[in-house]
Structure 1
């Protein structure tokens, strides 16, 4: 998506989308971009499920901090396990 977002025309092979070589910094940048794109998709006015997401986000925000942290850690560990299967 970053390539499409940043392409302004020009010669093939000369396009610089701003991504760096694979590294820890690139991983952080990719994570930041994934969050950006996911947020744009979820919050798009054409998304028919936006109210479901907003309700869930509001309910999550009302949970005590330790419960939110536990949910996020669980999701992180499940993601790590899923990534090992790929």
Structure 2
């Protein structure tokens, strides 16, 4: 019962964080030129999280789904920690 609640809270929190940071990193940023460059490959983190989230509904693939949702979160927090202590 508690594991199920913790998993749902983790999925909610990690999904919001991965989606917001993927959108922010894929945006044009601050540029001096008139051409806007979108980096859509950062949206692959959200796609990876989404695949892991969908895999969690299958009982046999639940552990792999949790690991797949964990990978983008770890990458984003690693970037944030590097930026803070730079």
Question: TM-score, length-normalised on structure 1?
Answer: 0.32
Q: Say which one has the larger Rg.
A: 1
**Higher helix fraction: Structure 1 or Structure 2?**
2
